[in-house]
Chain A
Amino acid sequence: MSFDESYTTPDGRTIGGVLMEMRNITLRFGGVTAIKDISFDIRQGEIRAIIGPNGAGKTSMLNVINGFYHPQEGEIIFRGETRRRMRPYEAASQGISRTFQNVALFQGMSTLDNIMAGRTLKMHKNFFWQMLRYGPALQEEIEHRKVVEKIIDFLEIQSIRKKPVGSLPYGLQKRVELARALAAEPSLLLLDEPMAGMNVEEKEDMSRFILDVNDEFGTTIALIEHDMGVVMDLADRVVALDYGKKIADGTPQEVQSNQAVIDAYLGVAH
């Protein structure tokens, strides 16, 4: 298949052209090379999985994508433009949003406030109106509340709206985190092990939400996941990393049968 034009998946979704391209990314911490010369792309509207054993550089890769780490070499092309070195909040304002491997919710705030926090970039009313909580500021607050309520309905977390997130069970926290990421209406959503530590039922729920998000909002998703079954079911294309290098890239079936991937997961005598 050609990677330059849009195509339609068997289940009827349209995958567009390249949204983000990583070219020869190398990332070092002192003497340790976390990512070595990796190139791959993410296409508009697809679900792209990044897999690999522990320490393969997957999370570092996500951190590079959203500007938290700055690679020493290589370039990132986002929406056809080479991206300069930027701070994470700038990446966020370009529509890149993410969830974290270890839940990174704002523990001191309620579910509602956490999701409202996701809309920070969309709210602009100035300090004066904020001080009075009246007129434009109040209106803005209420408009965004409506959007947030839609997301709450979508992810079925109405009942925990006012609860402090610290008291929620793990699976729900993951879901709130997804809600927070969605609240920013991202064009590229990064999910770092969205199903880690979940039981089968919770995984099924989460998978359904991820597919729904992709389907309903057309959001491009890049996800890291260890559960191969989930990856095979969700992803359109998979890139596999090992020791900071890319070892395979292609459809789930191609990657699954790739000898290097099998070796990386099962281990071979070197």
Chain B
Amino acid sequence: MFYREAGQYKTSYKEDSAIFPILQDRIAIWFYLAVAFVIIPLFGSEFLINSVMIPFLVFALATIGLNILTGYTGQISLGHGAFMGVGAYSTYKLVTYFPDTNVVVLILLSGFFSAAVGMVFGLPSLKIKGFYLVVTTLAAQFFLEWAFIRIPWLYNYNDSGAIEVPQREVFNIIVTGPDASVLSRYFVVLSIVVVMTWIASNIIHGRIGRSWMMIRDMDIAAELIGVRPLFAKLSSFAVSSFYAGVAGALMVFLWLGAAEVESFDVNVSFQILFMVIIGGLGSLVGSFLGAAFIWILPIVIRAVPRIMGMDINASTVEQLNFMIVGALIVLFLIIEPHGLARMWAILKQKLRVWPFPY
């Protein structure tokens, strides 16, 4: 009733193959953008923006990255936490060497370093398939973690072994460092995430994205049709790690302000994989939904006892948190293994025919 394509006639293939062919979808996208760019900055509290929105956007970007690899190309990776680290550490080195260059440019450049590292560790995927690939990406994870500790050059020989974000300005506005305002950081993160999501969507809907999905769905048939597995898999690893690297750089430079190796450990890799699966494999919308679910749910769980006036100590809440998240993940996989994105699609389908059941 409210959501349907009836009456919206397409008169060219260009219109028909648009990413949002339905008018209501286009309106919705503009609405979400308006909320993110205008409503939240105007009315959101500092807690909402700094502790909810910024990390949510950062993880959503990392999730898009992993979704490109796992959801669209069918290659599982448990190394994305470390690939985020590559982005963060290389931004740190770039900022050290080029103090006068626009930090946003450097953050984006750092993606190329993580893309290169991702391609190196993606090479085995040409011969190794399925769960066996998990081990090769775990090799990347643990090797890189080790490198982040044992190569002091990466953190400028700090005694703490941590990277600390220096202050940098873009157009005379402080965007990184302890003095950067929450709003300026939020706008930088949001802009980068929006632009990169748009680019991801373009790639996925074009020739390259199709070749990824061909490899995912049936690699042998894809090769017999003319997809070069080397190119398809490595390009996917590269793009995917690029996104992870930028997300890692954003995480450290525009959210945490400082980071050690623990910020990129294997648990982060798992967390991102969760976001991909809960959100929905092979769905960009799902990447946002999954990131929201996994990031925001614990915040809610932590807030519940406080709101209800119960006095439970912090570690108990944390343990309950683990249990609830674990149980919910299992429950989710049982109810809808295709993730939140599929639920979203079903909801839209229902809206299309409303008020009729079919």
Direct contact of A and B (CB under 8 A): yes
Judged by a CB distance under 8 angstroms, whether A48 is at the interface is no
Does B210 lie within 8 Å of A117, measured CB to CB? yes
Nearest residue, chain B, Cβ from A121: B226
What is the interface of chain B mostly: helix, strand, loop, or mixed? helix
B203 touches A (CB below 8 Å): yes
Contact sample, A vs B, 26 pairs, CB 8 Å cutoff: A66-B224, A68-B224, A88-B224, A89-B229, A92-B226, A104-B218, A104-B221, A105-B218, A105-B221, A106-B217, A108-B213, A108-B217, A108-B282, A117-B222, A120-B210, A120-B226, A125-B207, A130-B203, A130-B209, A131-B199, A131-B203, A133-B19, A133-B205, A141-B207, A145-B13, A184-B225
A114 CB to closest chain B CB, in angstroms? 9
What mask results when residues 195 to 206 of chain B are scored 1 for a CB within 8 Å of chain A, else 0? 000010011011
The docked-state distance in angstroms from the alpha carbon of A118 to that of B301 is 49
Tell me if B306 is interfacial: C-beta within 8 Å of chain A.
Answer: no
Interface residue? A100 (CB, 8 A) = yes
Contact residues on A (Cβ < 8 Å of other chain), bracket: 35 or more
Query: Are A107 and B217 within 8 A (Cβ)?
Result: yes
**B-side contacts of A180, CB under 8 Å:** 225
Asked if A141 and B17 make an inter-chain contact with CB atoms under 8 angstroms apart, the answer reads: yes
Q: How many A-B residue pairs have CB under 8 A?
A: 104
Q: Do B224 and A131 touch across chains, with their CB atoms under 8 A apart? A: no
Q: Are A98 and B224 in contact (CB under 8 A)?
A: yes
Q: Is B302 an interface residue (CB 8 A)?
A: no
**Residue of A whose beta carbon sits closest to that of B74:** A108
A-B contacts besides A104-B220, A108-B217, 20 pairs, CB < 8 Å? A88-B223, A89-B223, A89-B226, A93-B226, A105-B218, A106-B213, A106-B216, A106-B221, A108-B282, A113-B213, A117-B222, A125-B207, A127-B208, A130-B206, A131-B203, A138-B14, A141-B17, A141-B206, A142-B12, A180-B225
Bound state CA distance, A117 and B224, in angstroms? 11
In chain A, positions 134-148 with a C-beta closer than 8 Å to chain B are 137-138, 140-142, 145-146
| A97 CB–B CB distance under 8 Å | yes
User: A89 touches which one: B13, B210, B217, B227 (CB < 8 A)?
Assistant: B227
A262: interface (CB < 8 Å): no
Chain A CB within 8 A of B141 CB = no
Indicate whether A132 reaches chain B with its CB closer than 8 angstroms: yes
Q: Which residue of B lies closest to A127 (CB)?
A: B208
Mask: chain A, 98-112; 1 = CB below 8 Å from B; 0 = not: 101000111111000
A116 at the interface (CB under 8 A from B): yes
Cα-based distance from A132 to B201 in the complex (angstroms)? 9
Q: Are B227 and A120 in contact (CB under 8 A)?
A: yes
Task: Indicate if B129 sits at the interface (CB-CB under 8 A).
Answer: no
Among residues of B, the one whose C-beta sits closest to the C-beta of A144 is B207
| Interface class of chain A by DSSP | helix
CB distance from B232 to the nearest CB of A (A): 10
B329 → chain A closest CB, angstroms: 23
Chain A to chain B: the 8 pairs with minimum beta-carbon distance, closest first:
A92-B226, A133-B202, A106-B217, A121-B226, A104-B221, A130-B206, A145-B13, A123-B207
Contact B225 A116 (CB under 8 A): no
- Taking a contact as CB atoms under 8 Å apart, the answer to whether A131 and B202 are in contact is yes
Contact across chains for B217 and A109 when beta carbons are under 8 A apart: yes
Q: Mark A64-79, 1 if CB is under 8 A from B, else 0.
A: 0010100000000000
**Residue B247 at the chain A interface, CB threshold 8 Å:** no
Question: Taking CB as reference atom, which chain B residue is nearest A134?
Answer: B202
User: Which A residue sits closest to B21, measured CB to CB?
Assistant: A162
Q: Is B62 an interface residue (CB 8 A)?
A: no
Interface mask (B21-63 → A, CB under 8 Å = 1, otherwise 0): 0000000000000000000000000000000000000000000
From A120, A131, A133, A149, B225 is in contact (CB under 8 Å) with A120
Q: Measured between alpha carbons, how far is A211 from B225 in the docked complex, in Å?
A: 22
B205 touches A109 (CB 8 A): no
Q: What is the minimal beta-carbon distance from A173 to any residue of chain B, in angstroms?
A: 13
Report if A100-B282 is in contact (Cβ < 8 Å); known contacts: A142-B14, A145-B17, A146-B13: no
Residue B117 interfacial (CB < 8 Å): no
- Bound-complex Cα distance A146 to B228 (A): 25
Most chain-A CB neighbours within 10 Å: which of B13, B224, B228?
A: B224
A149 and B13 form a contact (CB under 8 A): yes
Measured between beta carbons, the chain B residues less than 8 angstroms from A150 are none
